[in-house]
A and B are shown apart, each in its own frame.
Chain A
Amino acid sequence: MQPVLEINNLTTTLFLKKGPVRAVDNVSLTLSQGKSLALVGESGCGKTMLALSILGLIPSPPGRITSGQVVFAGRDLTSLPERDLRAIRGNDISMIFQEPMSALNPVFRIGAQISETLIFHKKLTKNQVKSRRIELLKLVGIPAPEKRYNDFPHQLSGGMRQRIIIAMALACSPRIILADEPTTALDVTIQAQILDLIKDLQEKSKTSTVLITHDLGVVAQICHEMAVMYSGRIVEHGDVAEILSNPGHPYTRGLLNSLPRLDRDKDLSPIPGTVPEISSLPQGCHFHPRCPQRMDICSKQDPPVVESKSKIRCWLYND
């Protein structure tokens, strides 16, 4: 299948006072039409930076894409001028941000915020915009949309605000949606409703999704492929069912073992320590200080990517 989005050896560097650090380090991924890819990892491992790099939204300074390409519809997004990127953002590729409380502008009515992208990209008339935004609000399951579009964000609950953000992202029927922890701030019942909505969109309108999350439960429910990130790198990448039933990288295994589960009783075995500061990464494999299966070579040399059932970056699989 022809991929919708291709990321080749993408590196994003942040030029900090302490010196340059790589927030995204040599990442290659492909996304096929109607599929959904999960980016998994602890906070501070570069998931959001990767999503922002795709859209060219890295705050600059201090950040800059230093090498690699993001190929969308035959064009390399990293070399496009800002003008062309603006035509793509929200139109072909849109993003759902993490915090529904801060992603909406508090002084504009939600109707106006949804129509902004429609007016900018689709050049619709006033009446067309009006009917389209009511359609969108209905789609994301807001009751009484004819009244609701005149509300301000503070008049809505967290779940409703997240739906508004999703409606904004969907406004121009994009081909790709980047969802950055879309359900982390929500209750489980509302989370289930939002996940259902995203799944529905995937199936009906063949939208491709990149889902950023640290909840492996969410990944299992709606994603096809997953990539596990650790300190800017992808350490394991493959099919969701395959990885979750048979995780290869010790980090993936650690994440799974630290998850309390409803479907089985077992003790937790958390990963010791915390994510290293990106400005002072350990030598060799970045995970080795926390790894239960580390070997001598891990602290000396970077592991290569080994391709078996999934792509794993670990010395354990290198013979």
Chain B
Amino acid sequence: MTDQAYLCLDNISKAYPLKEGTWIKTTAWLRAVNNVTLNIFRGETVGLVGESGCGKSTLGKIACGLDKPTQGEVILSGEKIGSTNDLLKSRKIQMIFQDPFSSLNPRQKVRNIVSEPMRIHKLGSKKEILDRTSSLLEKVGLSSIHMPRYPHEFSGGQRQRIAIARAISVDPDMVVCDEPVSALDVSVQAQILKLLKKLQQDLNLSYLFISHDLSVVKYLCSRIAVMYLGELVEIAAKKELYTTPCHPYTRALLAAVPVPDPAIKSRALLVKSEPPNPLSPPPGCHFHPRCPEKMAICSRKSPGLTHISPNQSVRCFLYE
């Protein structure tokens, strides 16, 4: 690993216009991502966790060039990316989506689904592409007899394997995984997680792993970023995050995960109510209305990112 990050998301913001009325006027802006800076190194897995609607998928889309940030730069191995198109063309970053039932075209055969990225990027002759397709399917635990079949003939886990084969078909350096296992059963989930780990070792991939499940993230990731309402509230190495979580939100998330051991009863409820409407986020620290440790300053000023140790930074007044 070098000092230079492979992918650097520098001060990214993304706002979506909300349009209303006969003349489709922009009435408000939904700020999905706010000044997020995140570096991802070669061969590393970064986890991105948070509740639904906190902007983690938006950030994932920006990272692989499917969406354009309203502000900030995407820097790929030291080079600024001018337009999202360049990022897409570079085929260095690919994506795996959450729902394997809607991410595969039901009218295409598996052969076409997996080989399409190679055909678009013109990676070899027809024969070469076909050979590579069957070897890719074997790599993800399927076989070449599955090539002429349609997606509906497969179970959820197998479909996710097809999606993984498609993502790694053009030899990417990094894969953005947007909740790849949350639609699967536990036993299948474990199979897919093992597969992702093995592929990472074989192909030296970096992952940006988006999930809401902290136990899954713990298994796969080396560094974890916690998002709340469009902002990174804590970023830490795995060990630090799980042993000494700092932000009250991180602690609440960890306490909410049910542990399969009746002796460890979940602790008193830490957060109440639901995340606020992102259209009108509360002033100051966005988390303060739900925070068990809020102070007077929290509703007035927005906290900055404080570095607690080389491996851990947190955005909270408790540590400033």
Contact = CB atoms under 8 A, between A and B. Distances in A.
A202 to B, nearest CB: 14
Interface string A189-205: 11111011000000000
Contacts of A271: 187, 190
A47 B157 CA distance: 20
B215 A260 contact: yes
B258 A217 contact: yes
Interface in B243-286: 252-266, 269, 271-274
Q: Is the interface of A mostly helix, strand, loop or mixed?
A: helix
A269 B260 contact: no
Interface string A212-246: 00111111110000000000000000001100110
B274 A259 contact: no
B187 A254 contact: yes
A189 B213 CA distance: 11
A219 B258 CA distance: 9
Contacts of A255: 186-187
A241 B263 CA distance: 8
A143 B258 contact: no
B212 interface: yes
B51 interface: yes
Given A42-B187, A192-B269, A261 B263 contact: no
B216 interface: yes
A87 interface: no
A259 B186 contact: yes
Given A261-B260, A269-B190, A221 B214 contact: no
Nearest to B264: A263
B269 A259 contact: no
A262 B187 contact: no
Interface size grouping (class) on chain B: 35 or more
Given A258-B187, A259-B186, A187 B269 contact: no
Given A42-B187, A159-B274, A193 B259 contact: no
Most chain B CB neighbours (cut-off 10 Å) among A143, A188, A191, A193 = A188
Given A189-B51, A262-B259, 19 more contacts: A42-B185, A188-B51, A188-B257, A190-B51, A192-B258, A193-B272, A216-B186, A216-B260, A220-B260, A221-B259, A240-B262, A254-B187, A259-B190, A260-B216, A262-B215, A262-B218, A263-B259, A270-B191, A274-B158
28 contacts: A42-B187, A160-B274, A187-B52, A188-B253, A188-B256, A189-B256, A190-B274, A195-B266, A218-B258, A220-B264, A241-B263, A256-B260, A258-B186, A259-B186, A259-B215, A259-B260, A260-B215, A260-B218, A261-B215, A261-B218, A261-B259, A261-B260, A262-B214, A268-B190, A268-B193, A270-B190, A270-B191, A271-B187
Interface of A: 42-43, 143, 157-160, 187-193, 195-196, 214-221, 240-241, 244-245, 254-263, 268-272, 274
5 pairs of A and B residues whose beta carbons are closest in the complex: A217-B258, A258-B190, A270-B190, A260-B219, A192-B256
